[in-house]
Amino acid sequence: MIVDARVLQPEFVPKEVKHRSNKMDILTNALEPVTDGDSGETAMIFGPSGVGKTCISRFVLERLRENAIDIETQYVNAWEDHSRFKLLYRILEGVGKTLDIHRQSTPTDELLERLRNYENGQYVVIIDEVDQLEDKSVLYDLYHIQNLTMVLIGNREEELFSGLDDRLASRLTSCSRIRFEPYSQDGLEAILQDRVRWGLRPETITDDQIATIADAAAGDARKAIGILRQAAKAAHRGQEERITDDIIDEAIPEAASEIRQQSLSKLTQDQRIIYEIIVEEDAIAPKDLYEEYTEQAEQPVSKRMVRNHLDKMQHYNLIEAKGATRDRTYSPSG
DNA sequence: TGTCCACGGGAAAGAAAGGTGG
DNA sequence: CCACCTTTCTTTCCCGTGGACA
């Protein structure tokens, strides 16, 4: 019943863009000068996850490249490359200037110097999850590089501006900002319909079922497509002709746990011990948590390190912290 | 209302890991 | 294979915060 599994993958460059055409226009305008060989305006994109921020940016850049020569583009995820060095390295990678970089003989300033010396036309860089960047001063340096245009993507505006250099912050107040809202019910249904049309055999899913999925996804397209994928896979496994309501009911929690599972697999041994304690206790005070952890771990790490782990797990949305200093508790999220 | 103190998180220092050139 | 350097991870130290408790 699955015709083309690719359209069930979240990365597939989809027709979603048509629901975001006004946002695309703003971004395209900001980057327009690039096609004439000038630097574009720094663009900032904000919005919750699964609303097409990354997707739209990549799409716009792709189209830019098609329409003009001498444009290089690069996509960097600051969640993966969160140090100054890694970020700069990744950016240089996009213009193939990393060949003879030896970490030993190449201080990070040298990386910047190379970017400044890049003369082969305009270079547009998407920096995704920019709030995850630990050293935001690197943005200030990048901002001042000729021929380099940045597209910054983040969840919340305040998070980006906090910890930002004052000088840069004031410059950025004038640059173009684009806010993405969660998809509407109708928008999500249209996106799903589109995927279904290309990815599944006709008649395998009803409009009502699509509406159910869209509703469960709460404005998040990634989640919606995840549910659809789970449902299609389940039906496929069970040799079903079509997707039943029962399959969808099961696919909704499965899609959620799929995301959680992916996060869990990235945890280290220590982090997993901590996570399991929190799940076990449901809500636990920091002190008790650390005591319990020291008992279970063969080589317990310091309190400070446990706090780092807790931070990380909050980022992954695995746990949440409630309360301020004294009455704080940690509990599993969801 | 004032004192106490666990907590979170920043900074510095130390240890480990990863890579290079001899 | 080793000496050496940079980056990354971990620990140690410290201080401001804000509930608890008198």
Average pLDDT (A122-139) is: 80
pLDDT band at A323, cuts 50/70/90? confident
State the nucleotide closest to A307 in CA–C1' terms. Answer: B8
Instruction: Give dist(CA A31, CA A60) in Å, integer.
Output: 9
Query: Which residue's CA shows the smallest distance to C1' of B19?
Result: A103
Does the pLDDT value for residue A195 go beyond 90?
no
Range from A82-86, A124-128, A308-312 carrying the lowest mean pLDDT:
A82-86
Instruction: Return positions of chain B under 7 A from a protein CB.
Output: 5-11, 18-21
Query: Which residue's CA shows the smallest distance to C1' of B7?
Result: A325
Ordered structural domains, chain A, with CATH: 5-179 (3.40.50.300), 185-264 (1.10.8.60), 269-332 (1.10.10.10)
* CA–C1' A112–B12 (A): 26
Instruction: Residue count of chain A, please give it.
Output: 334
Does the pLDDT value for residue A320 go beyond 70?
yes
Task: Give pLDDT, residue A329.
Answer: 92
Spell out which residues of A between 74 and 113 contact strand C, using CB within 7 Å.
83, 85-86, 103-104, 107-108
A324 touches strand C (CB under 7 A): yes
Range from A57-66, A150-159, A215-224 carrying the lowest mean pLDDT:
A150-159
Task: Give pLDDT, residue A47.
Answer: 85
pLDDT: is A108 or A117 the higher one?
A117
State the nucleotide closest to A286 in CA–C1' terms. Answer: B7
Secondary structure of chain A as H, E, C letters = CECCHHHHCCCCCCHHHHHHHHHHHHHHHHHHHHHHCCCCCCEEEECCCCCCHHHHHHHHHHHHHHHCCCEEEEEEECCCCCCHHHHHHHHHHCCCCCCCCCCCCCCHHHHHHHHHCCCCCEEEEEEECHHHCCCCHHHHHHHCCCCEEEEEEECCHHHHHCCCCHHHHHHHCCCEEEECCCCCHHHHHHHHHHHHHHHECCCCCCHHHHHHHHHHHCCCHHHHHHHHHHHHHHHHHCCCCCCCHHHHHHHHHHHHHHHHHHHHCCCCHHHHHHHHHHHHHCCECHHHHHHHHHHHCCCCCCHHHHHHHHHHHHHCCCEEEECCCCCCEEEECC
Does the pLDDT value for residue A18 go beyond 60?
yes
* CA–C1' A291–C9 (A): 22
Task: Give pLDDT, residue A157.
Answer: 75
pLDDT: is A7 or A209 the higher one?
A209
Task: Give pLDDT, residue A104.
Answer: 40
State the nucleotide closest to A303 in CA–C1' terms. Answer: C11
β-strands A319-322, A329-332: how paired? antiparallel
* CA–C1' A89–B9 (A): 28
